[in-house]
Structure 1
């Protein structure tokens, strides 16, 4: 079968590899779609970062391996001992490998497992015609949720988890910094949680236009005093939660200037450079910075339920490509900013 195999920086090849077979406790999936993630871009241009160069303690796999951790598929075979799943079931995959015995795992917070692994980063993943995953990773898709949306459940769950950590409720004012895929996911999640008063701060006209077309209210930090606007909008109280999905110092500084007293800035970005973060506003307001990593199964189920209600729209920001175009129309286009979100169709069925 064909698969996108990662060999190291600037080297992903579409190879013919052996088709995997279901083993006890696992299912074999015919992959529907696999999204290219920002983490994949980091691996391609600057890795290996998370891809192991020695056997991973949970997966026992290492470089080179098939990438892809944002994917959906249809079960084509079940391994021995598998119950509750059948050939033909359509699923989204929660790609976390966890140890089940460290303190975070025992507390139910396996998204910060001390040995965490990801299918498609620490093992052969979903950017291939077929892949095999343990049943613990499976989430069934309702009939009215497409495989395209199913491949977006993983990144949208990253955003939903962050939105939940913001402890927001209907009637609150929230702000999202950055209108990339996670920023868009945050907007969908906050709307799904009943918030009407959500502002997306984004300097790129292209990204502002994309999220405005979905119905979002945007602010251009190059043309507006954003903290002043929010202070006036909230009668001086500040935002009830701000979310950084941009990962750059100007966004963080502005976010901290907008957040209200004892309210959080939730960080769900990857920071490539050290931040010079002004902390005076945190001290004076007793506000806080809250980190957010990945998701749990509850986030997956919440996103799938919202998708079934029609709460997510891919118009204008999601592009589908065949696996043969994964470099030029996938990685290079995303890196250049000419595309926002790319789903790879490894079986040519879109």
Structure 2
């Protein structure tokens, strides 16, 4: 079968590799679509970062080279011994976390913070291939109302939903989202799903502003508007109830910390290429806080699948599909240049 294999910095090859088979407790999937994630870009241009270069991961026992792909959906083609609640022909989406089940976060249900966490497609051969095999606990069935191709978006939308939950907002809250890339769009969708109507998306790129405005969002251009001053005026100085940084740049963090109200959070959803030197005075004087977030749990997957089944997510104008052979030039390069926003890979094309 064909797969996108990662060999290190700037080296991904489309190769013929052995087709995997489902062992005990495993599920084999014919991949329908696999999304290219920002993490994939970081691994390609700056890595290896999360992918083990030589020492095998303690849970997956896998090191580089590895088949990429952790955002994917597909059709079950076989199940291993002991799997009796998933069947051949089921449409599924994958929650790609490997966890130990023994550390304190795992025991408390917060396995997204597992001390030995691993990811399918980073620490195990992933879904940027025609077929892949995953543990049963990574499989979520898709209802008939969700096209299997769209199921590949459940993973990134769950990243966004988990962040939105950490914002501790309600339907009367005000929120700011910095960055209108896929995760920023996902946060906007998640907040809307929670009932919020007062949401501004801060984005300097006109192309990205137009894309999210077409979905119904309200935007602010930080190159032409003093965002903290505008928010202070709108809220009589109280600030917003939560801000979300999906931009990953220092100006977004600094602006957001001026905009959140007392004892309210800035949720950091980004990976920062450069160290931040954030003045703590904005935190101290009003007891604001910066809250980190990482991936998701099954609760977030269930919430996103429920919203998706109701038609909540609109992919018009920001999601495109490419062939497996175009992953590097038509995928990584296009995304890095900002010419595309979200790309799904069709491994059969």
Q: Which TM-score bucket, shorter chain as reference? A: over 0.9
Residue equivalent to 2:151: 150
Query: For the residues of structure 1 that align with 2:97 and 2:179, how far apart are their CA atoms?
Result: 26
Residue equivalent to 2:245: 244
Residue equivalent to 1:215: 216
The runs of at least 4 aligned residues of structure 1 exceeding 6 Å deviation read none
Residue equivalent to 2:5: 5
* TM-score normalised over the length of structure 1: 0.99
Residue equivalent to 1:41: 41
- The number of aligned residues is 348
Question: How far apart are residue 163 of structure 1 and its match?
Answer: 0.2
Query: For the residues of structure 1 that align with 2:71 and 2:304, how far apart are their CA atoms?
Result: 14
Residue equivalent to 2:303: 302
Residue equivalent to 2:333: 332
CA-based RMSD of the aligned residues comes to 0.7
Secondary structure at the counterpart of residue 29 of structure 1? strand
Secondary structure at the counterpart of residue 86 of structure 1? coil
Once the two structures are superposed, what CA deviation does each residue of 1:92-137 show, in whole Å capped at 9, x if it has no partner? Answer: 1000000011111111110010000000000000000000001100
Query: For the residues of structure 2 that align with 1:232 and 1:171, how far apart are their CA atoms?
Result: 18
Question: How far apart are residue 149 of structure 1 and its match?
Answer: 1.7
Residue equivalent to 1:32: 32
Once the two structures are superposed, what CA deviation does each residue of 1:212-252 show, in whole Å capped at 9, x if it has no partner? Answer: 01000000000001011111111211000000011110000
Residue equivalent to 2:52: 52
Residue equivalent to 1:14: 14
Question: How far apart are residue 148 of structure 1 and its match?
Answer: 2.5
* TM-score normalised over the length of structure 2: 0.99
Residue equivalent to 2:108: 107
Answer whether contact 2:28 2:77 (CA < 8 A) is retained: yes
Residue equivalent to 1:286: 287
Residue equivalent to 1:253: 254
Query: For the residues of structure 2 that align with 1:278 and 1:239, how far apart are their CA atoms?
Result: 19
Query: For the residues of structure 1 that align with 2:169 and 2:148, how far apart are their CA atoms?
Result: 30
Once the two structures are superposed, what CA deviation does each residue of 1:58-99 show, in whole Å capped at 9, x if it has no partner? Answer: 000010010000000100001111111100100110000000
Residue equivalent to 2:142: 141
The answer for unaligned runs of 5 or more in structure 2 is: none
Question: How far apart are residue 324 of structure 1 and its match?
Answer: 1.0
Residue equivalent to 1:93: 94
The answer for unaligned runs of 5 or more in structure 1 is: none
Residue equivalent to 2:80: 79
Secondary structure at the counterpart of residue 169 of structure 1? coil
Question: How far apart are residue 146 of structure 1 and its match?
Answer: 1.3
Question: How far apart are residue 334 of structure 1 and its match?
Answer: 0.6
Answer whether contact 2:74 2:149 (CA < 8 A) is retained: no
Secondary structure at the counterpart of residue 201 of structure 2? strand
Secondary structure at the counterpart of residue 147 of structure 1? coil
